[in-house]
A = this chain, B = another copy of it.
Amino acid sequence: MTSRIETPAVLVDLDLARRNVEKFQAYADQNGLAVRPHIKTHKLPQMAEMQLDAGAIGITCQKVSEAEAMVAASDRITDVLITYNIIGEAKIARLAGLNDKLRLSVVADNAVVVDGLSAFFGKLEKLLTVLVECNTGANRCGVSTPEEAAALAQRIAAAPGLVFGGLMTYPPVGAAAAVQDFMTKARDLIEASGIAVPVITSGGTPSMMDAAEAPIVTEYRPGTYIYNDRSLVERGACGWEDCALTVLATVVSVPAPNRAIVDAGTKTLTSDLFGQTGYGHVLGRPDIAIDTLSEEHGRLVSQGEIGLTVGQRIRIVPNHACVVVNMVDEVQIIRGEEFVESWPVVARGRIT
């Protein structure tokens, strides 16, 4: 199978991906959570459709262009949340283009963003749904307190062209209690001012099987769960056998008894360590470390003899699946040992 594929290549096992999707959907269904997967991890319309088939209520995107690419590739995508502060007339006009065609929501964590959206949408007929992004400990974007969340919700509700859509967060791992606390206070304040809070949306694959520990959350946005990766295995969230995405690479040199070089470097695996030592896991060879990467070379080292030969192919579970997908123009779809076909990564590189 794999000998027909040129290396380095990103392989995606369709059956494992489907199994991962269905497993979380089952947990979410049991716990009354809506699933709105983050498509950044696959950037493929076929996978989005699989997630919708399994029961997802829509998709999450991070940038306007990422949403545009997915929507253009599948007319089954009719509900999109862009979890980003959108700024500038050009980007906001593109939001309007999407909003005309489907159910669109965005987030905001500050008045400048809200006012910019309102200035544009206030002149249009169809309202834009805006959620407030809340900082529940990750210290990235997000209002810092429930009081600030309520103030911004009121601003959205009062703003021409906009409707308040709820509360959103991207919490740190294991922060269910903080999410429950923040969101409860924010919701109560907002409802007290006469505004409904239709959605409370959280995310993050590492904590996804604890999502029900923040029962105020109505919707969950996992991304990496569809493929898994080394960082999740090392956290105990899944096993190697649950990793749907692997990198196929060829040994191009064995220059020393304990060293081999493969044709996958940072331009395939990226330099994301994501909390790990070394740049990936070689399936079947836990004794091997990928200790350094150049752009197009991966260096493998071992304590004893490396036991690899020039021309041999290996499969690597990367530290972080989402970023690997974004390195390549297409992924190679497999089912076990059988090559199926190549799928173009339609939303690759969509950063604006």
Q: Which residues of A contact B (CB under 8 A)?
A: 6-9, 40, 62-63, 84-85, 87-88, 90-91, 109-110, 112-113, 116, 135, 139-144, 250, 252-256, 259, 261, 263-264, 266-268, 270-273, 294-297, 299, 309-311, 322-323, 326-329, 348-349, 351-352
Query: In the complex, A93 Cα to B70 Cα: how many Å?
Result: 36
Contact A296 B351 (CB under 8 A): yes
Query: In the complex, A40 Cα to B256 Cα: how many Å?
Result: 27
Report the nearest B residue to A61, measured CB to CB.
B296
Per assembly, the copies of the chain total: 2
Kindly list chain B residues whose C-beta atoms are within 8 Å of the C-beta of A264.
Answer: 351
Contact A266 B113 (CB under 8 A): no
**Which listed residue (B63, B142, B297, B310) contacts A112, Cβ 8 A?**
B310
Contact A352 B109 (CB under 8 A): no
Kindly list chain B residues whose C-beta atoms are within 8 Å of the C-beta of A329.
Answer: 349
**Which listed residue (B9, B139, B295) contacts A259, Cβ 8 A?**
B139
**Which listed residue (B85, B141, B144, B328) contacts A351, Cβ 8 A?**
B328
Instruction: Describe A's contact surface by its main secondary structure.
Output: loop
Contact B113 A296 (CB under 8 A): no
CB distance from A198 to the nearest CB of B (A): 23
Beyond A87-B310, A140-B299, A271-B271, 14 extra complex contacts between A and B, CB < 8 Å: A40-B296, A63-B296, A88-B311, A140-B294, A263-B351, A266-B272, A266-B323, A270-B270, A271-B323, A295-B323, A327-B349, A327-B351, A329-B349, A348-B349
Kindly list chain B residues whose C-beta atoms are within 8 Å of the C-beta of A109.
Answer: 253, 255
Q: Could you list 12 examples of A-B contacts with CB < 8 Å? A: A6-B91, A8-B351, A63-B263, A85-B252, A109-B253, A116-B311, A139-B299, A141-B255, A144-B255, A266-B270, A267-B323, A267-B351
Contact A255 B142 (CB under 8 A): yes
CB distance from A143 to the nearest CB of B (A): 7
CB distance from A320 to the nearest CB of B (A): 9
CB distance from A221 to the nearest CB of B (A): 14
